[in-house]
Structure 1
């Protein structure tokens, strides 16, 4: 999966403290630019004041107790959620002229929801904390985050400032990596790295575990391998050799680590490639991002596929990489269809244009909690969602 390269020149953040000008390196994995206006805050700063300043675009550099900073962030999140709930109710309220009330289309509702989530994330990212050059946080009751930061940022080199919300994400990702994710289809755990999407949607893994392998499937390609979970499932099913590709260095490292843990590196080769490796295979699998759209951070490339780039690339190049009698498996949710983002006809047209035919399709309903959460703004689409494994062959 492609990632947006970071700038070679680190940006800096500037602020005044005790009438003395200060600056430090700015870090943001989401690509958020360095805030232009920064004020210093501490344990005495009221949550209402902090939230108002953050909404106005003023960053808050924390100088108090670290655990109090976490509590302040939670208080700001509650205010953001309350405001978002009020805004949603106001938009749903009927106007005086009832005939003028028009429910937003699924696509419009999706874009409004994503816009609100993006605004919420920007606001909460305004609470900042300082780091020393060795990833120590110079605040009272601050935890040791050296390992989590090393896994996400690499070797430390200079002091910097970052969002507390981002740090909590790093800590959460470290816990995911340390504890792993149970994969029933493997009977083992997969350990996702920071910035690599976690395989928590078990239903699509069961589809790959149960679909009949094409005859002579001694070589398979796993396109966009991510954590390496699909390559591992295929290896455990008896496929003799798998080449797993990805463009993201974090994904390549993650897949290699997981396959090493599972003692499958003798059968799975992890290579950096944009979609397909050289040659042909009897089985080629791909689980592309399910929603067309522009990612707002590197990890969102596992969810959003700008202009269906990966989907088009896979379907457009699949036929010439399939060995005679081989199959290409496309694992794809129809959530985009229910949201009005990509009609089924467009998917079928891409299959047709790629010189492919549908051998069979295996469907499964999602089992994740959001599918049954009536309070989710996108509940109608999620409740109707079906994940499919399309078995494709060259015409």
Structure 2
């Protein structure tokens, strides 16, 4: 076919071509001279080849069909879509339980992701009258709120992209993605030996967390920046950190060089604040998230605290420690997940604690790890949002303390919630019409309890 014939064919097409990209013009032209099949209508019989060529990661680090880091969605099947796929067609595919593998412009993929979100909102968001009629209590509204948020995340996680770290990115997106996103993916998942699938939502989140890791988050209570890593809860809700400026480590412990234990260290911010105020103390820090262990070590190194800290990966309490074989400490600090509920991702596990199991295990076992010093204490930082949402009885934590042989020393230190989710009268933080949830968040209080053995 001559170039003259191609030019004549293109000129004969609709004037709307003026608003198409060169790739779109070529595709539109090809449809006029050959039988062209929309990717969204391709038979899924072709997909085993795709699954073979784009195998899951051998370490399971982010296979979206297996990894909780990608939202825990199980993909039974997938359909290839591209820039020509309409949002309505994509939504219809997702509703059948099939994932979408996007081959096209990255910006168009983001637009499709946003369009899917709008359709989920329109379909799931109840009217205020429906809420008052079907979910009158705070617990009912919270359960409805969680179902909507989870369904939105599930739908968003169904839009996948193929990523190849050996080439930087799959050729489909390489020209559209800028360097920072490539760097963010390599930082979060390292370079892999085979391409893999990743939800677009996860790609965007990875880039955001990478910017935090590069630039840091300034923490006024510390006077320094903390650098969160991917998959580690960032200290953006910092009002609870104010509590550590109101409570003092007993003088006898600071004079003798007391030992701190931070259970669930995360970024290491709590340990950093305490050690910066008490120069004679050292710390042992525990987390069950390997990314958090790496993050805390990195932050302690930047803050010059590496020689005063030991960070280990363990469930709740340390099994062994090179510098403290007994696994005991004079001050034990814990900021546990504060909402009873199922965690759907590693970041969720910093917030949700199914059946309050982590809190219960901590309070029942922490006494064994408290030193025999007369001034040894446990500092428990916890929100009352669960009680205000009727997810946990007000007396339940008190019963856990009794079962663990603990008592509250003095009056607890409290602070009000100042984060954006606490500001709402009629709608919750996601714009959903759940007034009881918004009211509970507005009244939320976070307390620091000083505990000692009974």
1:367 counterpart = 2:367 = no
Which position in structure 2 is the counterpart of 1:121?
153
Task: State the secondary structure of the residue aligned to 1:380.
Answer: helix
Which position in structure 2 is the counterpart of 1:82?
122
Which position in structure 1 is the counterpart of 2:439?
380
Change (3 A) 1:216 1:318: farther
Show the 5 A alignment for 1:54-203. 54-85=94-125, 87-89=126-128, 91-92=130-131, 101=133, 103-134=135-166, 135-138=168-171, 139=173, 140-144=175-179, 145-203=181-239
Distance 1:16 1:74 in 2: 25
Match of 1:348 among 389, 395, 398: 398
TM-score for the superposition, normalised by structure 1: 0.89
Task: State the secondary structure of the residue aligned to 2:146.
Answer: helix
Change (3 A) 1:43 1:274: closer
Distance 2:341 2:93 in 1: 30
Which position in structure 1 is the counterpart of 2:354?
306
Distance 1:333 1:187 in 2: 24
Would the aligned equivalents of 1:214 and 1:283 in 2 still touch at CA under 8 Å? no
The answer for unaligned runs of 5 or more in structure 2 is 1-41, 57-62, 319-325, 429-433
Deviates more, 1:275-284 or 1:165-174: 275-284
Task: State the secondary structure of the residue aligned to 2:336.
Answer: coil
Deviates more, 1:153-162 or 1:49-58: 49-58
Distance 2:45 2:178 in 1: 24
Task: State the secondary structure of the residue aligned to 1:104.
Answer: coil
Match of 1:212 among 217, 233, 248: 248
Match of 1:330 among 380, 385, 402: 380
Would the aligned equivalents of 2:261 and 2:332 in 1 still touch at CA under 8 Å? yes
The answer for unaligned runs of 5 or more in structure 1 is 1-13, 94-100
Change (3 A) 1:15 1:216: farther
Q: What's the C-alpha RMSD, in Å, of the aligned pairs?
A: 2.2
Q: CA deviation at 1:231?
A: 0.7
Change (3 A) 1:59 1:272: closer
Change (3 A) 1:20 1:206: closer
Structure exhibiting the larger radius of gyration computed from Cα positions: 2
Q: CA deviation at 1:70?
A: 0.9
Q: Between Structure 1 and Structure 2, which shows a larger proportion of strand residues?
A: 1
Q: CA deviation at 1:15?
A: 7.5
Would the aligned equivalents of 1:30 and 1:296 in 2 still touch at CA under 8 Å? no
Q: CA deviation at 1:76?
A: 1.7
TM-score for the superposition, normalised by structure 2: 0.78
Would the aligned equivalents of 2:165 and 2:186 in 1 still touch at CA under 8 Å? no
Which position in structure 2 is the counterpart of 1:8?
none
Change (3 A) 1:283 1:55: same
Change (3 A) 1:150 1:40: same
1:228 counterpart = 2:228 = no
Would the aligned equivalents of 1:242 and 1:269 in 2 still touch at CA under 8 Å? yes
Task: State the secondary structure of the residue aligned to 2:316.
Answer: coil
Count of matched residue pairs: 374
Which position in structure 2 is the counterpart of 1:265?
306
Task: State the secondary structure of the residue aligned to 2:375.
Answer: strand
Would the aligned equivalents of 2:71 and 2:154 in 1 still touch at CA under 8 Å? no
